[in-house]
Structures are given as structure tokens and as C-alpha cells.
Amino acid sequence: MKWGKYWVASILGIVPLGAQGASPAAGISSGDTAWVLFSSGLVLFMTIPALALFYGGLVRRKNVLSVLMQCFITLAAVSVLWVTVGYTLAFSPKPLIPGILGNFDYAFLRGVGQAPSTAYATTVPHIAFMLFQMMFAAITPALIIGAFAERMRFSGFLVFTLLWTLLVYCPVAHWMWSPDGWLYKAGALDFAGGVVVHINAGVAALAAAYIIGRRRSIKAYPPHNLTYTMMGAAMLWFGWFGFNGGSALAANGLAAHAVLVTHLAASAATLLWMILDWMILKRPTILGAATGAIAGLAAITPGAGYVDVMGAMAIGLVSSGLCYAMVMVVKPRFMYDDALDAFGVHGIGGIWGTLAVGIFASPAVQPAVKGLFSGSGSLFFSQLLATITVGLFAFIATAALLKAIDVLVSLRVSNLGEAAGLDVTEHHERAYTIIE
């Protein structure tokens, strides 16, 4: 194939990879480029160490290294996949399947160089936009880890992560963020990943929890290290400024607005979760405060560039209440083992936040975008369409993919392996060693 010849030439040193059109264009803004590159680093920081610590602190100590390893390897594996075929399937200008999936024009970053893209982020190098999107692609499957923590074999996890990114994440990213995408054309909005990241990963986590099954021990184990969890939550909060603010793709007023409303939504959600814990459990907890913050951050993600300050705080408060009910009431009743509440926080937060765009979107933030409270109902129905279709696709595709992988590579560790812990059985390492 044409791109295959280009890749061979790149390896031989004949053509530098990504060098086509590499002369920087006069329209590139150094400030915008610096902000997008810095934001890329912040989103990487969200995967490792932030998410790794947040999840690692919640599991038992005999499984902490397995969670850290899964987060670490997800970043590396998805990055390589993204450069080879992931980015082109999500963002190439000509569709392989119209409205559904991109083609192979950008495979191995052919034509993705220092000049800006004509379709995306026109004031920064195309390769900077690609890098920013790479970090989104990496953190999304890492979120699913929370659903099957403590019970999936590493080999099965690795196969699942790569195939899920290719077959689920890339199509949904194309639907929502490519000008060719059918949801994009339907008017659905997703500023920073409420649909593409949180609904997609959250619903996939629910499917994974059901397909892989409950942990074999019925005893409820407390998180082994809440210090890790709190530190991870704080790092995620910090990194989310790049996640949402960077999605403005420019160092401008919209980026500043996105950072502000992101912080306020998280703050409101944190306070409400603490109050609910205080009222119901009779004590405020750091686990509750940290979980509330993540719920608020997930919920504001799709609307950070569309809602005003009051809308953001309302989104944060409602997300905290909804996620609290899901984690504390619904999950115990339905007995599914979403170990670290990936669906209960990211999935529910993403669903509410996506619908909330259609309610709270304000023309004071972006004049062309109006929600129900601004007198327009059309956006809400577009958001509802995106929520339902992506949710159904993520659940069905994830369940089918896990079933197929389980036939080829057994997903569950053995009874003995689960009892001993994945740190020892999968990696032959221990997080904590007592030296006498």
C-alpha cells in the first residue's frame, strides 16, 4: 500500500517520518502551540501517575502493582497504536466508511508534520494536535481498568486494550470530532470528551464488570492506601485543566473559561459528596471527597466550553448526587462488581454532563450555542442522540469483544491467582517488602 511504502522509506532514512509539509506555516501561534503541548503533558500526567495512584490506592495491597502496570502499559501501547493507525482512523480527512470511520491517509503520521492542519487546530502544528489527541486515546481505556481490577490476566488486558481502542474508541472519536462524523453533523457537542471518553469508557466498564464477573471473595475490603487515592485525585484535578482547557486548542479566553468552570464544577461536586457522607454515614470521608471531585470533573468535561459559571456549578452538584446514588444505592442492589466505580462515576458523570450541555449551554460563552435555558431545545435532542447511540455501541461492542478475547486468551485469573493477588501471580513482584 502507498502508506506502507512511505513507512519503509522512513525507516531507511529516505523520508523523515511526518515530514511532508514540514515547513512551519506563518499562521502558527507560538502561544497556542505552547498551550497545546503543555496540555498534552497534563493529560499524560492524568494517566500516569494520577489515575494509576487513584486506582492503585483503592485496591488491596496485593493488587496495587497490577493496576499501576496496567495504567503504565496502556499509555505506551495506545501511543504506538495511535501513531500507526489510530489517529488516521479517527481524524483522517477522507472517510473509509462515510460518517463512521476515517481512512488510512494519516497512517504512520504520513503528512502529519509541522504545518497546521486545515481541519483541526489551524494555529498549531498538526503534529501537536495529534499528540494532544493521543493522550485522550490513552487515558480512555485506562479508565476501564477500574471495572475489572483485581481479576483480569495481564495478557487478556493487553489484547483488550489495543482492540478496544481500535474498534471502539477510534470510531466514536470520528463520529463526534471529525467534520465527517455523523454525530458531528447531527449537531452533537462534546467539548473535551464527555461522550468520547467518559460515556464510552464508563459504559464499557459496565459491560466489562458483567462479562468478567464478580470477584470471588464476597468480603468487602477497604482501600489499602487512601493517601495514594487522595494524591491521585488531586493530580487528576490539576491535569483536568489541560484536559478541558487544552481542548480550546488555543491560549485564549475560551481556554481560561474552560479551566475556571472545570474547577468550579469539581469544587461543587466535592462539597456535596462530603455533605452526603456526613448526613448518611455520619462522617465526612476523604474517599467521598475524592470521588465527588472526579464525578464533577467528568460531568463538566463535555460542556466546559459551552456553559457559564452557574451552569457549571449546577452540573457539578447534580453529578455528585447522581453518582452518589449510583455508587451507594444502585450498585449494591444490582450486585455488579464495578470494582472502582468506573461506570458509577465516569459513566454516570459523562451521561449527565453530555445531556447538561443541551440544558445549560449559554450564548454568553459561545454565541452560536444555545441550550434549553437559552430558549433552544434542538441541542438537547442532539445530546440525547449522542448519549444513547454511543452508550449502546460501547456496551454491545465491549461485551462482544470481551467474549471473543476470552475464547482466545482467558480473561480471568485462576481462583488461586485471585486469592494470592495479581502482583505476585501476574508480575512476580510485591509493592511492599518487609526487611527484617
Where do the structural domains in the chain lie, given as residue ranges?
A: 29-427
Least confident of 8-17, 66-75, 251-260, 370-379: 8-17
Identify the CATH assignment for 29-427 out of 3.30.1490.20, 3.40.50.300, 1.10.3430.10, 3.90.76.10. Answer: 1.10.3430.10
- 244, pLDDT greater than 90: yes
pLDDT of residue 17: 39
Kindly list the distances between the CA atom of residue 234 and the CA atoms of 39, 290, 410, in Å, as whole numbers in the listed order: 16, 8, 36
* Region 371-395 average pLDDT: 97
pLDDT of residue 18: 39
How far apart are alpha carbons 89 and 80 in whole angstroms? 14
* Region 153-166 average pLDDT: 97
- 22, pLDDT greater than 60: no
- Residue 99 gets the label, from left (phi > 0), alpha (psi -120 to 50) or beta, of left
* Region 367-371 average pLDDT: 96
Determine the distance from the C-alpha atom of residue 390 to the mean position of all C-alpha atoms in its chain, rounded to a whole number.
14
pLDDT of residue 298: 98
By percentage, how much of the chain surpasses pLDDT 90? 90
By percentage, how much of the chain surpasses pLDDT 70? 93
- 9, pLDDT greater than 50: no
* Region 331-352 average pLDDT: 95
pLDDT of residue 26: 59
pLDDT band at 198 (very low <50, low <70, confident <90, very high): very high
pLDDT of residue 297: 98
- Is 198 in contact with 347 (CB distance < 8 Å)? yes
- 48, pLDDT greater than 70: yes
Mean of pLDDT over the chain? 93
* Region 287-310 average pLDDT: 98
- 160, pLDDT greater than 50: yes
* Region 133-154 average pLDDT: 97
- 10, pLDDT greater than 90: no
CB atoms inside a 10 Å sphere around CB 211: 18
pLDDT of residue 217: 74
pLDDT band at 335 (very low <50, low <70, confident <90, very high): confident
- 3, pLDDT greater than 80: no
* Region 240-246 average pLDDT: 98
Helix axes of 126-148 and 200-212: crossing angle, nearest 10 degrees: 30
Enter the pTM of the model.
0.93
- 274, pLDDT greater than 60: yes
Closest to 207 measured CA to CA, from 168, 176, 233: 168
pLDDT band at 218 (very low <50, low <70, confident <90, very high): low
pLDDT of residue 19: 38
222 upstream amide cis, omega within 30 of 0: no
Q: Write out the DSSP string of 73-122.
A: HHHHHHHHHIIIIIHHHHH-SSEEETTTEE-STTGGGTT-SSSPPSSS-T
Least confident of 3-17, 139-153, 320-334: 3-17
pLDDT of residue 14: 35
pLDDT of residue 6: 38
What contacts 382, CB < 8 A, 6 or more positions away? Answer: 183, 186, 187, 188, 189, 358
Closest to 359 measured CA to CA, from 297, 295, 276, 299: 299
- 1, pLDDT greater than 70: no
pLDDT of residue 435: 63
Which helix H or strand E contains 26, and what residues bound it?
Answer: none
